[in-house]
């Protein structure tokens, strides 16, 4: 099947239709969880897709490790104001601040190339296996970007996480980021998934919203130049600011 095409300017399926689909998803609960490992392709994926889960886990006393595969240096390749190294430095700081808002430690950075993760899947899977540790360790859950999300880096992380979790008998939740922009609930790629809905407490929701505000380099223009436009414009960001999150198994 050809991969989906992400059009950031598109309005996508109206939120009300996604919301009626989400209401039919089974609730996600965190009973017996001891440790949560959240894998992100770029700094901000972890908060867009799983910020509420991270805050909820921390509030429940669950250890959380956030892993960012890249430093996100490729978000504005034609920027006349921000070099890749300046962008990386900004995004590392943003992700640290966001983790702090979620009461989590700063992300573990792998420093792999933004835009090139498909060539590093084995390394990603090996890093995750190391973090998981012993096979079938009770209470360990992994969350990762969805293997069919539509962005090559997100998909590489999703495939690597699936391999590491299959090898270690670890429960894996995929979180969609770009899916909302191109999919519909009856899309063939979604039909084989079992979705689950996490309803955030007011405190977890507020922490997620504060964490999202840290990613100014992605959600606000870097300058007036067209190449410095926001990567996640307001109509896309709104899909992530509601009181629920969706996970796919
Ligand atoms: Zn991303």
pLDDT in tens, 48-101: 999 999 999 999 999 999 999 999 999 899 999 999 999 999 999 999 999 999
Q: Which residues of 46-56 are buried (b: 16+ CB within 10 A; e: fewer)?
A: bbbbbbbbbbb
CA of 159 to the centre of ligand 1 (A): 15
Task: Give the Å distance between the CA of 200 and the centre of ligand 1.
Answer: 22
For residue 147, report the distance from its CA to the centre of ligand 1, in Å.
12
pLDDT band at 1 (very low <50, low <70, confident <90, very high): very low
Distance 36 CA to ligand 1 centre (A): 19
pLDDT tens digits for range 201-237? 999 999 999 999 999 998 999 999 999 999 888 989 9
Q: Give the pLDDT score at 136.
A: 81
The per-residue pLDDT for 173 is 98
Averaged pLDDT, 36-55 = 98
How many angstroms is it from 44 CA to the middle of ligand 1?
7
| pLDDT over 70 at 2, yes or no | no
The residues placing their C-beta within 5 Å of ligand 1, an ion, are 41-42, 45
47 closest CA partner among 198, 148, 158, 177: 177
Report the C-alpha gap between 192 and 41 in whole angstroms: 23
What pTM was computed for the model?
0.95
Q: Determine the distance separating the centroid of ligand 1 and the alpha carbon of 41, expressed in angstroms.
A: 5
Q: Is the pLDDT of residue 186 over 80?
A: yes
Task: Give the Å distance between the CA of 78 and the centre of ligand 1.
Answer: 18
């Amino acid at each position: 099947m050809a991969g989906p095409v992400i059009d950031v300017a598109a309005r996508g399926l109206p939120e009300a239709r996604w919301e009626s689909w989400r209401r039919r998803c089974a609730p996600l609960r965190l009973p017996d969880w001891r440790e949560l490992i959240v894998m992100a392709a770029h700094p901000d994926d972890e908060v867009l897709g799983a910020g509420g889960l991270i805050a909820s886990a921390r509030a429940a006393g669950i250890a959380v490790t956030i892993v960012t595969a890249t430093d996100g240096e490729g978000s504005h390749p034609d920027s006349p104001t921000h070099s890749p190294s300046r962008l990386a430095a900004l995004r590392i700081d943003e992700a640290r601040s966001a983790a702090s808002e979620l009461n989590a430690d700063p992300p573990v950075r792998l420093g792999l190339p933004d835009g090139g993760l498909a060539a590093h899947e084995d390394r990603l899977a090996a890093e995750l296996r190391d973090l998981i540790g012993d096979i079938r360790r009770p209470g360990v859950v992994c969350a990762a970007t969805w293997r069919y999300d539509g962005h090559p880096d997100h998909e590489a992380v999703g495939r690597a996480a699936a391999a590491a979790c299959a090898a270690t008998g670890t429960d894996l939740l995929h979180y969609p980021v770009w899916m909302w922009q191109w999919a519909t609930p009856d899309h063939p790629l979604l039909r084989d998934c079992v979705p689950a809905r996490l309803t955030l407490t007011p405190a977890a929701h507020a922490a997620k919203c504060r964490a999202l505000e840290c990613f100014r380099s992605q959600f606000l223009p870097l300058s007036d130049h067209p190449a410095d436009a926001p990567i996640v414009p307001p109509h896309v960001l709104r899909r992530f600011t509601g009181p629920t999150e969706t996970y796919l198994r």
